[in-house]
Amino acid sequence: MSASLQLGSHKRLMVFSGRSNQPLAGAIADLLDIELGKVTLKTFSSGEVYSRFDESIRGADVFIIQPMCANPDTGMNANDALIELMVMVDAAVGASAHRVIAVTPWYGYSRQDKKSAPREPISARMVARALEVTGVDRVLTMDLHAGQLQGFFSIPVDHMTALGILGDYFASLDDDLVIVAPDAGRVKLNKQFASQIGAGLAILDKERPQQQVAEINTVIGDVRGKTAIVIDDIIDTAGTLCAAGEALNRAGARRVFAAATHGVFSGRAFENLATSPFERVVVTDTIPLRAGAPSNIDVLSCAPLLADSIRRIFTDDSVSAVFGGKNHTF
């Protein structure tokens, strides 16, 4: 007598997109050779978000692609994206989906991962708790700002990294390369990247006198006459990044590049980068690039990586095998 009852293979994979990054969702669906699921999404005049799946999702593995980022083209801000994700998850749970997986390559509030002063929230933990309570079964994300964010969840978190994508871009540079960590907290990530492309390593001595303000005083390591590549997880206002580029120029770097997984590009980021010393600034499409970007920004697609990961989650194969287990860049 069998210890289980087999009803045949009826697993279904369905992919739906919120409004924060529909082009990325479309690219993922194309790579999976399926169409995006039909869903009605709108914002009422009161500002409240509405969601309804327009087809049956009963018993399906539902993957909801929604980075927690703003998208001016659809009128979404970061908070709208988070609420819309939660509303879609709640609708999927209520519609009897078998599993609901949040595919949020840019995890919002990720920089608020600890208390830096009394009476501050740990907002990244709050977001994790909210997603769990809403009914998410699993989270697929990319290049979290800090390792402890995975510990905020009691459900599986699949953590992807764009190091391979960025490494392939710079591997063609036939120069004397040096990878530059923007601060001590990014040394491990930059060391892995340097080993990947066979480059040297340098570190910037950075201090933050206040939020979103950084001062760079010293370049630790030899960059004179070399091509320096600053690698980080996020580019936001780009003020810190531009200060890093200027410090590298003063230290004698011959060429200066920058790369990051997430191009937030808020505030005066485009103006800062347009006048920066960076030859190219490379990001992925976890966050859609808004209009007005300067010509020195290149965008690489993370859709193949995410599509492969989604397929592996659906078929219960190893996700860490994509990186040989080396996707913990903290």
Catalytic residues: 206
219, 249 contact by CB (below 8 A):
no
CB count within 10 Å of CB 209 equals: 7
Q: Name the residue among 33, 28, 31, 50 with its Cα closest to residue 41.
A: 50
What residues does 3 pair with on adjacent strands?
none
What residues does 101 pair with on adjacent strands?
63, 138
Q: Name the residue among 304, 247, 255 with its Cα closest to residue 280.
A: 255
The Cα diameter of the chain in Å comes to: 76
Would you state the structure tokens that stand for residue 148, as one six-digit string? 């402890």
Q: Rounded to whole angstroms, how far apart are CA atoms 232 and 168? A: 16
114, 78 contact by CB (below 8 A):
no
Q: Rounded to whole angstroms, how far apart are CA atoms 186 and 203? A: 9
Q: Looking up tokens 């459900």, which residue turns up?
A: 155
Strand runs labelled E in 173-212: 177-181, 200-210
Would you state the structure tokens that stand for residue 182, as one six-digit string? 């923007």
Sheet holding 99-103, edge to edge: 13-17, 61-65, 99-103, 138-142, 157-160
Would you state the structure tokens that stand for residue 302, as one six-digit string? 């993370």
Q: Rounded to whole angstroms, how far apart are CA atoms 143 and 329? A: 8
Q: Rounded to whole angstroms, how far apart are CA atoms 329 and 321? A: 15
Q: Which amino acid is at 210?
A: Q
Mapped onto helix, strand or coil, the DSSP state of residue 194 is helix
- 18-41 as b/e, with b when 16 or more CB fall inside 10 Å? bbbbbebbbbbbebbeeebbebeb
